[in-house]
Structure 1
Amino acid sequence: MGYMDPGSVVWFEIDTADAQAVKDFYGSLLGWTFQPVPAPDGRTYTLISASGAALPMGGFREGAPDGQEGFVLAVRSADVDADVARLKDLGATVVLPPGPSADGGRSARLKDPRGNAISVWKAPEQPAGADALLDAGDGAPLPGSLGWFEIGTADLEASKTFYADAFGWNYVHDTGVTSRPYFAAVVPGDQRGSGGLADNSQAEGTKDYAAPQFMTPDVPAAVAKATELGATVETAPETTAYGLTYARLTDPHGNRFLLFSFPPQG
């Protein structure tokens, strides 16, 4: 997905009751940096950046609209109000109605029909050089940056239909993932996905979630460090048929995220 295309996942938020714990955990694990800025509601909003990134990739404010901690994936919108109306018709539930966002744009918070928190966001204007957020000289995500997302579901066809109708996503079966059926999500007009849907109908434990996936040079080493910092491993490191390694974890507050590394060079 092009980073700034409507329908693309371009941001994430963390709902948390303990901002310092978020900073301590992810700062230590992934090298994130944090910048507080004023928010329209009078509270402080904290921007999250990967080390060396030109632009932030996410943010958080203390407290959650529905009282639950967790990551929230944000989808770029050309018209937040129209998107919210369409998503409601498709079965989504509005958590926060459309209103001003911390950057002067407009956003809304919803839950998809499976109960996963998502938001739609329209920037006040397209930031210059937005793709620099993900570039590391060769087009790869920077270490610690948002490089992928995963929507796990116990009802793959229902989830595929919802997001196709909601944001125009198309799907490509990723046969390199052998542990479960997996489909890359692609926005119309783009050539590759930046996220995927995982069929968890036969999986143990949590089946439905929407989680960000962060790039790290060494997944097993990062998983070991995460557990030392209090994280819980849900899926131990797995390697796809084409050499990409990933793992799924929850942080000390139960917030779900994934780590991945690219196949070895050469």
Structure 2
Amino acid sequence: MGMMDPGSVVWFEVDTTDPQAVKDFYGSLLGWTFQTVPTPDGRTYTLISADGAPLPMGGFWEPAPGVGEGFVLAVRSADVDADIARLKDHGADVVSAAGPAADGGRSARLTDPRGTHFSIWQSPTQPPAADAQPDAAPGAPVPGSLGWFEIGTADIETSKTFYANAFGWTYIHDTGVASRTYFAAVTPGDTMGSGGLADTGTSDGARDYAAPQFLTPDVPAAVARATQLGATVESGPETTAYGLTHARLTDPRGNRFLLFTPPPMPPQG
């Protein structure tokens, strides 16, 4: 997903009252594996990994935090308490105050000015200098892994401004996406983009959301399998002008996610 600099999306959480349904669906669809670990506050936290990946990419709490169903993207923070004050000045609202994260760090849940949930996470120890930080997931991404994120917004300019001010994101207009206006989001420590902002203002269905996007070798086949497992297709499969194929779905619990296959690699000369 890119570097582990503050401002980068480095994790996701699943809010759900039915953890087994999450395990059954994504285990069958994407081959996810799950490991439950104790946490400092006496609850349990389940780590989510793609099969063959060296590190987990997300997790969920048991019992659930009581904020409904859905995926929440987590952004790395150097100082959660300072960031909360700063983000409120930019129009964010606090949903869950700063407190212990599952790994002993600190985290907080907020909403952006459009009401979309996100979290900020601070590691248990202060991270080293940016040039010494490792990638969040070394090596090539494996199928089922978190390879991108997408924020859908019916007010693209408000959302672009918020995340630029909040986390230092910059944007590249992706003219290869034909169905809507789309901007690749370049997060700190990144050069090519690790997520995107999609303009949903003129589309039907989903209006504002934040969702993880998972790598699959065959989007149409994965979409067909997902629907067999009870998912609903919201858009796609669609192929961009440069050959990336993607689709947006909701799982049987109503949680929104995306699937993508990168463009074919050019032949090696």
Shorter-chain TM range is: over 0.9
Output the CA distance in 2 between the equivalents of 1:11 and 1:130: 15
Aligned length: 262
1:243 aligns to what SS in structure 2? coil
Q: Work out whether 1:133 is the aligned partner of 2:155.
A: no
Q: Work out whether 1:183 is the aligned partner of 2:179.
A: no
Aligned to 1:28: 28
Aligned to 2:38: 38
Output the CA distance in 1 between the equivalents of 2:26 and 2:211: 15
Q: Is the 8 A contact 1:15 1:62 kept in 2?
A: no
What is the letter of the counterpart of residue 113 of structure 1?
P
Deviation at 1:132, TM superposition (A): 6.5
Deviation at 1:63, TM superposition (A): 4.8
Deviation at 1:171, TM superposition (A): 0.6
Q: Is the 8 A contact 1:11 1:75 kept in 2?
A: yes
- What RMSD, in angstroms, separates the aligned Cα atoms of the two structures? 1.7
Q: 1:154 to 1:66 in 2, by over 3 A?
A: farther
What is the letter of the counterpart of residue 149 of structure 1?
F
Deviation at 1:264, TM superposition (A): 2.4
Q: 1:112 to 1:161 in 2, by over 3 A?
A: same
Q: Is the 8 A contact 2:246 2:259 kept in 1?
A: yes
TM-score (ref. length: structure 1) = 0.94
Output the CA distance in 1 between the equivalents of 2:158 and 2:33: 37
Aligned to 1:227: 227
Within 5 Å, which residues of 2 pair with 1:216-255? 216-255=216-255
Output the CA distance in 1 between the equivalents of 2:193 and 2:136: 18
Of 226-235 and 106-115, more deviation after overlay is shown by 106-115
State the 4+ residue runs in structure 1 displaced beyond 6 angstroms: none
Aligned to 1:124: 124
Q: 1:147 to 1:202 in 2, by over 3 A?
A: same
Output the CA distance in 1 between the equivalents of 2:146 and 2:242: 21
What is the letter of the counterpart of residue 148 of structure 2?
W
Deviation at 1:18, TM superposition (A): 0.4
Aligned to 2:92: 92
Deviation at 1:249, TM superposition (A): 0.2
Aligned-pair identity (%): 76
Q: 1:250 to 1:134 in 2, by over 3 A?
A: farther
